[in-house]
Structure 1
Amino acid sequence: MKKIVCLLAFFTISVSFAQIEKINNYKYIIVPDTFEFLKETNKYNLNTLTRMMFEKAGFTVFMSNEQLPPELANNRCRALYGSLDSKSGMLRTKINIEIKDCYGTVLYTSEEGISREKDFQKAYYQSLREAAKSFYDAGYAYVGDAASNAYFQQGQAVTPPTVPVTPVAPAAVAPATLLPAVAATVPGSQLFAQPIANGYQLVDTTPKVVLKMYKTSQPDSYTAVSDTKNGVVFKKGNDWYFEYYLNDTLVSEKLDIKF
């Protein structure tokens, strides 16, 4: 029995490694604004959380309605397409992370994340976190440009297929409210916003980059990544806030940003 379990574990690890090896040649990944199983733009902030998951793994991520850099806009086969697949029932919510190439071929499927929470938002968050564990463990690491291998053969350029992107009317991106927020303010921490591709980096007086903010479809609302945290930065009234989860508790930090 132990041998069978060990063989199954070895087989699972081998398959996962083979899958992740296929996507290591890609730098970019595009995430849809709307998942088919929810049919509402950024429902439960799940699309934003999926973006942050891929950013944490090391991808350069764009939402499907964002402006793309020229090298990607001119050849969408330089990007992968990440999404979630849900096969949920009355008692359980199930999520797999799926990554496809521009032809629609599935290159990677995560292990299934399962939640028995009755609240839909909590259930989707929990099942996504569970599915993300296997994705992080697989160890994505960008090693080169897939376009040079997949679409240029013997010096002859192969025209990649056209991947239509249907514009989606932007919807309000509200900060997640899974649990009550714990307010936190960093006094005297003046941060300076420096433009980068698709957003800003926030630099303190050291100077040190403490946070990177990436544009969403909504003005004054950004996904945000630091060395240790992933969350959202948004403007409320005249103030800016950085919200993220710490041990399943939503933390809200007030930021002093100078643009």
Structure 2
Amino acid sequence: MKKTLLFFALLFSGIGFAQSLNDYKYVIVPERFEFLKEANKYNLNSLTKMIFSKPGFETYFSTDKMPDELALDKCKALYADLLNESGILTTGVVLVLKDCDGRVVFKSMKGSSKEKSYQKAYHESLREASASVNLINYKYSGKEIVSSWTKTPAKNVPAAQQAATPITVNNENVLFAQPITNGYQLVDSTPKVILKIFKTSQQDSYTAVSDSKNGVVFKRGNDWIFEYYQNDKLISEKLNIKF
């Protein structure tokens, strides 16, 4: 009877989130949970990554190299966390997934353990909490993620007031365009990949990503321009690209 009640409690804890979870392809796991002082303490971060990989999410640590589409838009991922809900005599944890706006879209049942060894206790409680994840019946829907980061122009505001004033930079280094899937990689004379650009529905307009910058590359007159934000400042960098 106790096992039956637990099954239905777990079922209803996960079922309300199933549709929104299906809209996400990626889960990002931190290297360290806030209630612990060391990265991957008790192997909890690796286990959490494994838990969300099992139903079919593509999972990454926050320090891993991300796929290009995720590097361009962090809102395509959910962000995993492990909450410490331990008591005086028990160790307890709850698994959580949040979107890029910080909204909780999944929260597991609490897993608990009375083991005296911290490692055994955390492993047992995490295994119990993961039962909720096993019930979500995840299947990626491929839907477009919409978040508060998606900007729409303010109504009744002149276009000149909506546009940011960029800081202009002239990059005279020659970059050579090498075709890749859906775009080009721009390399210098070393050769080193400086930037990857990906085609959009607009001619001569690309999304762009490097190791440290995300933005857009487009043609203005006869010039190629790379625009991105750096320290909250809009930078407009003229590129010398050889296709």
Q: 1:41 aligns with which of 39, 42, 51?
A: 39
Q: Which runs of 5+ in 2 are unaligned?
A: 153-243
Bigger radius of gyration, 1 or 2?
2
Distance 1:9 1:125 in 2: 20
**Alpha-carbon spacing, 1:33–1:115, altered in 2? closer, same or farther (3 Å):** same
Q: 1:94 aligns with which of 82, 92, 95?
A: 92
Give the aligned residue type for 1:26. Answer: Y
Give the aligned residue type for 1:158. Answer: T
| Aligned counterpart, 2:107 | 109
How many residue pairs align between the two structures?
150
Distance 2:68 2:54 in 1: 24
CA offset at residue 18 of structure 1? Answer: 1.5
CA offset at residue 49 of structure 1? Answer: 0.7
| Aligned counterpart, 1:172 | none
| Aligned counterpart, 1:158 | 150
Cα deviation per residue 1:72-103 (whole Å; 9 max; x = unaligned)?
Answer: 01100000001111111231011111000000
CA offset at residue 142 of structure 1? Answer: 1.3
SS at match of 2:106: strand
**Alpha-carbon spacing, 1:10–1:54, altered in 2? closer, same or farther (3 Å):** closer
| Aligned counterpart, 2:230 | none
SS at match of 1:97: strand
SS at match of 2:130: helix
Moved over 6 A (4+): 8-12
Q: Name the TM-score, length of structure 1 as normaliser.
A: 0.53
SS at match of 2:96: strand
Residues 1:51 and 2:49 are matched in the alignment: yes
**Alpha-carbon spacing, 1:144–1:93, altered in 2? closer, same or farther (3 Å):** same
Cα deviation per residue 1:128-168 (whole Å; 9 max; x = unaligned)?
Answer: 00000121022222112342xx149xxxx9249xxxxxxxx
SS at match of 1:133: coil
| Aligned counterpart, 2:131 | 133
Give the aligned residue type for 2:38. Answer: E
SS at match of 2:60: strand
**Alpha-carbon spacing, 1:40–1:159, altered in 2? closer, same or farther (3 Å):** farther
8 A contact 1:78–1:145 mirrored in 2: no
SS at match of 1:99: strand
Report sequence identity in percent. 43
Cα deviation per residue 1:90-128 (whole Å; 9 max; x = unaligned)?
Answer: 310111110000000001100110100000000000000
SS at match of 1:77: helix
8 A contact 1:35–1:47 mirrored in 2: yes
Distance 2:51 2:80 in 1: 11
Cα deviation per residue 1:176-223 (whole Å; 9 max; x = unaligned)?
Answer: xxxxxxxxxxxxxxxxxxxxxxxxxxxxxxxxxxxxxxxxxxxxxxxx
Distance 2:13 2:41 in 1: 32
CA offset at residue 61 of structure 1? Answer: 0.4
CA offset at residue 32 of structure 1? Answer: 0.3
Q: Which runs of 5+ in 1 are unaligned?
A: 161-259
8 A contact 1:81–1:99 mirrored in 2: yes
8 A contact 2:111–2:127 mirrored in 1: yes
8 A contact 1:27–1:145 mirrored in 2: no
Distance 1:123 1:151 in 2: 37
**Alpha-carbon spacing, 1:135–1:64, altered in 2? closer, same or farther (3 Å):** same
Give the aligned residue type for 2:79. Answer: Y
8 A contact 2:11–2:135 mirrored in 1: no
